[in-house]
Chain A
Amino acid sequence: MKLQIYNLSKTYSNGVQALKNVSLTIEKGMFGLLGQNGAGKSTLMRTIATLQDPDTGDIEFNGINVLKKPEDLRKTLGYLPQEFGVYPNVTAEELLHHIADMKGIVHKGERKDSVEALLQKVNLYDVRKKKLDGYSGGMKQRFGIAQALLGNPQLIIVDEPTAGLDPMERNRFYNLLSELGENSVVILSTHIVEDVSTLCTDMAIIGNGKVMLTGKPNEIEEAIRGKLYEVPIRKEELHEYQEKYKVISQRFFAGRLMITVMADELPSGEFDVKVPSLEDAYFKILSEN
């Protein structure tokens, strides 16, 4: 079970080049696609989900040429877009039944079992008879996950699933998403580093439409171990430190500005060695580009 993306490029009619020669190989499991807003993640997701045509390139999933046979991919696809609406006057159960039917689950009994199981899985069973326009943002997101999982898809794409959710909702998502990668290819597109570091076994960082880095999160972290140092400074000293050192990120901590610096050796005595995180690696990539 493998998704392969070859040299995918896409330029919109307004001249924005959203994808530049993107190539990726994604195996079974959770794959994190990390990038800033506007990096091209959603374009890539929509293209894989057969909703958009690339200018050039190819996509193959389990022997299916996605661009030539989109209908074959859709039979095995579960897609949760970044933003989506729901029919306001139908219940979650009705809409899931409808989507299950569309996904080819023609036997009523199977459809019923699937819908019920998923409603329980996303903990919407108690409100299954309620109309969707009364659902909160988190409930709608869970509904979105449920519809994506209907039909036991082999390729699952979730685009920014935690955007706009409170920490508790995000936590629930982690629980849900963690189950998904066991039997299928799951692509999690996000700009939140924690999402990837928590859930994914493989990842890629995308920026300006290009793949900047691929690998396993822990390997990426390891690659910068021993090269990160941090120090608290005053705000007005930042410029001076930037001139002097390779500052890859900055954050406020206890009212002071904490900067992270990348260097082969300890820059000076005021610095402390920092344990690397995926976020540091991500910032490093960004600062280099």
Chain B
Amino acid sequence: MKTVLSIIKNELKQRLFNWVTLIFFLMLVFQGIWYTKGTFDYFSNDGVLMNAPSIFYRNYAGMGMLMIIIIAIATGGILYKEIQYKSAQWAYVLPIKDKHFFLGRFFAAYLYLIIISTGMIVGHLLVPYSGIGEANRFGPVVWGQLLHGWLLFTIPNLFFYVSIVFFAIVYTRRIATSYLAVFVVVIIFLISQTSFESGGGDNLLAYILADSGGYVAAQYYSDMLTTEQKNTEYFQLTGYILQNRMLWVGVAFLLGIAAYFKFSFKYFIQISTNRSKKIRENNKALFIAPLVQLPSITKQFSVLDFLKKLWSLSKLEFLNIVRPISFKIILGIILLMVFLQNVTWNATYYIGNELPISSNMTYFRMQWGVFVNMLVMIWAGELFFKDKTINIWQITDSLPVPVWVTQLSRFAAVIGLSLVLSISFIIISIFTQVLLGGASYIDLGRFVEDLLLYRWAFLNFVLWASLVFFVAALSSQRILTHILCVGLFFFLIISYELGIVEDLRFGFGFTPGVEDYSEMSGYGVFQPAANWFFFLWLALATTLVMLGILLWKRGSDKKWINRVALKNMQLGHFSKVVMLACFGLFLILMSVINENVYDKGNFTPKAEEERLDAEYEKKYKYLKTSSQPKYETIDLKIDLFPSERKASYSANIVLNNEKGVDTIFLNCKDFVEIKSLIMKGQELRSVKKDEDQNITAYLIPKNIRTDSLLSLKLDGVKKYEGFTQSDFQADLTYIGSFGGIQDFLPVIGYDSDKEIIENRKREEQNLDKLSSRMPSINDSLGLRQNIFSTDAILVKGNITISTEKGQIPFTAGALQKRETSGDRSIAYYNIDTPQVFNWYLGSSDYAIEKGVANDINYTILYKPSHAFNIELYQDALKNGIAFMQKKFGLDAISDKLQLVEIHRWQDAKYNFANSIVLSEKQGWVANTDGIQEKAYILQTVGSGLVSLWLQRNLSIANVQGADMLRAGLPEALALQFVEKTLGEEALNHLVQKKKDKYGKDRNNEPNLEPVLIYADGAKYLEENKGAVALFKLMKTIGIQKFNSILIQWADENKLELKRFVDFYLRLLNEVPTSEKESIKQLFEVVD
């Protein structure tokens, strides 16, 4: 015991009073502050304090990148240093017992890390003084929770890391394996965490248990806490957290004990030299140098010879990587994990399981691509320094082979390695797809594009390997190269993830839209953008590789001046010119991207967007209460040119100007240009133009304002210029365009959509906090406005929409005719009865399915390869129409109904004039063998039909509770429909799904969760808790009664804008007294 204590004391004495320790400590202080900011930003709620215990608990559980690096660097050396510095021969013969030595070093390492980790606590304590937030963001210091979190997560986590590091070193007698072990643990954590965040709810326990640090468990735990709890509570050692802690502390004990028993001086000192490999020389004693004449030779050093050498060396280096059994084991493990992920994990999004389509089979790259990229970088670094590591560099560097041959051959080997990995991924993914029954819809192009190009695939690996190549040449130090490259990679990934960096120009190897593939629209505008970015990075990567050759330190102690001098012929003059040309190309491409993405207004950083929105509110809020004309009739002719991302249109508009306003304010979306605005043959004159805000004021001459109606002829063009790095620009994309009518026509008056609704952001922009995101129930202005649009009540009209040949256009209203004229595909729509103004339009290469249900003609527009569930959709429509007609009358559904599939980039569903539009993730590719997927499809269609009925029969005022009618009521009635059609089991699935969704999302409420009767437009609330509450109310008073009250209430004063609270009170009257309290609890109280 005394020996152990003495070893610990000695080790700590040596290490603690050292400037490196001080740097480590300061790094962790910094991390404590930095991570607090990142986690705080994750919680959108305004009430969460910046020094909330929940934030600290998560920081401790996550450990942080810097802590992990410190663990990797500092831990292993404590056990291994005698071997490393070759002092074991004398140190291990000192009168110390092996096991005492091991224990002493183990606890010394553990205590050292524990002491350093207090830097995080200090960082947390310094947060209020760090300047990252204003004083009102901080509560009192939570000493108890600060310490508890550290004890609950940091202390056991450090124990685990020390155990695994010691285990790896003892069993392999190599320090490198301890780095690998830490690296693998981190990767598993990253995969668990990203999979958890990507919505893999089905495998929650697996993700929680796989993460040794307990971060996923802590994240899940904190997600379930209310704001108040986040700010005050101690995390309980129960449930998932307890399971996670027990598992990993147990594993740590096992690893530690296994290492303890294995360790002995005699064993450890062998330093992995396998004596069995030693070769005996039989004729040793007889040896004399035989008189053998060396043959004459010819030596050739032409460029062609070097090229041949490059090829043969590349092959050799490549085989040296892939031949060892260790490579095959690593590859096998990765492929097995990818296979399991593709089999078990499914992009759940809004529904349950999806069919094994190819795009789902390539999604694993979002997690594994990052891991493999790091692995390739480390492999590359090791390969570039191979000769130095093995210490054969003095021989190889003095050989008459140019640097470009030896180093490029290694780079080529890394390219080969990346290719092998990517092709293996393709093979395993196709195998999985076939195994899951998706053989008939294998899309090879998808595999090639996603796994062989630059979306966290082959080419990204190559790009990052080029950076490693350059850094290796620059630093000439293996470990430094690893730290710099992997550190930069981590830094960029985390920075983009946390939103600290948005601009992709700083993200070496990053391309836009990596994870935004849509079955309908491909990568849309991200495709050309990604191409440009890739070529940008390729030009830089080529420059880096050539610079790497130029700067590679052949030999030792080479002078910098000689390495960078023109006379350095490691790179020939011609190659130097090529290198400069590549760098020039990089600059040119950067300027092209600058112009197209940034100068042309395709990208605005979030902070700037918020500033602009705040500015808009400050400047134009007065318009909210001042009268402005409203849309009444629209005859629109719009021609879409998807390949050019352009639309030109002309509209005859009748505006209602009953207040006789003399100035009309028009807000246009970006890239919209109003060519002309003519009223009674007279061009309107703009009197004010705010280009930053895209708002223009036009004077309406007095002579035109003769009555309450204004006839306006508007000609406009919308054309996206350049390309983007972050905005889908989905209303005009190559295939599958879909956008609102007011993405083209202007919004009149004050555009409330621009208002910032998150109180924290409002405060940052010096705007008053909102007590509610919607006008209060008695707000006179809100009571005069329709919830669907502030610049219209009900609108009618005609829309003629055309698109390019090969695509089919659609829009709001009843389809009158489709025709093809020349190279244009045209559709004529008509909206006879005035409708709420929430219209959309779109165009894609649709397949059409037509049918009739109870005299209602319907059309389904869908992606031709998504015919999987068309019959189910038709059944849903037929049953839904029958249901609606039975419950709400024969005219409940308008004729010429259309159901349309769109991309997944926008909302999940849209319902407007005769149209139900569902995202591709709403069930078009769902595996509908199970009842919950069937139920979901039925519910989305049913909810759409109810929504259309409500839009035609109920005018909803723009006040609190409006979304209970607009969104909650259709969902509740659709539950009725599902129960009737599929029974109680299906219903229970959906109700549970809604409860879960509400339970999870309510904790990310940015402001304050309102009660249902004052619901203010928070989707998680009305569509989930709201719908379930209404359904319960329905059941309480009886479905029949509920429906008849609804019909009656809708029919009363049909044109009057109605409030939910009135409907609720009427229903409440019907609730039996015994149930009243519980119903009131649901609608009038927040849990």
Contacts and interface: CB of A to CB of B under 8 A. Distances in A.
B556 A75 contact: no
A170 to B, nearest CB: 12
A106 B300 contact: yes
B410 to A, nearest CB: 13
Interface in B353-408: 386, 390-392, 394-402
B281 interface: yes
A172 B301 contact: no
A104 B295 contact: no
B392 A87 contact: yes
Contacts of A87: 320, 386, 390, 392
A114 B401 contact: no
Pick the most buried of A105, A106, A175: most chain B CB atoms within 10 A of its CB. A106
B559 interface: yes
B606 interface: no
Given A101-B309, A104-B301, A123-B290, A50 B398 contact: yes
Interface string A240-258: 0000000000000000000
Pick the most buried of B278, B290, B294, B391: most chain A CB atoms within 10 A of its CB. B294
A160 to B, nearest CB: 12
A136 B281 CA distance: 9
Given A126-B282, A151-B299, A172-B287, A131 B557 contact: no
B295 A71 contact: no
A20 interface: no
Interface string A132-172: 01111001000010010101100000000000000010001
Contacts of A136: 278-279, 281
B400 A104 contact: yes
A52 interface: yes
B555 interface: yes
A229 B850 CA distance: 120
B328 to A, nearest CB: 14
Contacts of A80: 395
B555 A52 contact: yes
Interface string B328-359: 00000000000000000000000000000000
Contacts of B289: 121-123, 172, 175-176, 179
B180 interface: no
Contacts of B278: 134, 136
B299 A172 contact: no
B929 interface: no
A280 to B, nearest CB: 30
A79 B290 contact: no
A83 interface: yes
A51 B294 contact: no
B316 interface: yes
A106 B308 CA distance: 9
B546 to A, nearest CB: 18
B909 to A, nearest CB: 60
Interface string A24-60: 0000000000000000000000100111110000000
A121 B290 contact: yes
Contact of B398 (A74, A105, A110, A113): A74
B400 A81 contact: no
Given A104-B301, A105-B299, A51 B392 contact: no
Contact of A85 (B297, B390, B569): B390
Given A51-B555, A71-B400, A131-B277, A121 B292 contact: yes
A191 interface: no
B398 A49 contact: yes
Contacts of A286: none
A73 B288 CA distance: 31
Nearest to A176: B289
Interface residues of A, number: 60
B299 A117 contact: no
B643 interface: no
A250 B417 CA distance: 61
Contacts of B555: 46, 49-52
A92 to B, nearest CB: 10
B282 to A, nearest CB: 7
Interface residues of B, number: 52
A168 B285 CA distance: 8
Contacts of B293: 117
A84 B312 contact: no
Contacts of A107: 297-298
A87 B559 CA distance: 28
B305 interface: yes
Contact of B277 (A53, A111, A118, A134): A134
Given A50-B398, A52-B558, A79-B395, A127 B298 contact: no
Contacts of A71: 400, 402, 569
A71 to B, nearest CB: 6
A131 B400 CA distance: 25
A186 to B, nearest CB: 14
Contact of B294 (A75, A98, A114): A114
B395 A52 contact: no
Given A71-B402, A85-B390, A139 B395 contact: no
Contacts of A135: 279
B816 interface: no
Given A117-B294, A127-B281, A102 B556 contact: no
A51 B300 contact: no
Nearest to A122: B289
Interface in A60-77: 68, 71, 74-75, 77
A168 to B, nearest CB: 8
Contacts of A106: 298-300, 305, 308
Pick the most buried of B287, B308, B569: most chain A CB atoms within 10 A of its CB. B287
A83 B554 CA distance: 17
Nearest to B309: A101
A130 interface: yes
A273 interface: no
A7 interface: no
Contacts of B287: 123, 172
Question: Which 5 A-B pairs rank lowest in CB-CB distance, beginning with the nearest?
Answer: A51-B555, A104-B299, A85-B391, A81-B394, A74-B400
19 contacts: A53-B562, A71-B402, A81-B394, A84-B392, A88-B390, A89-B320, A99-B399, A104-B305, A105-B297, A105-B298, A121-B292, A121-B294, A123-B283, A123-B287, A123-B290, A133-B274, A134-B278, A134-B279, A151-B299
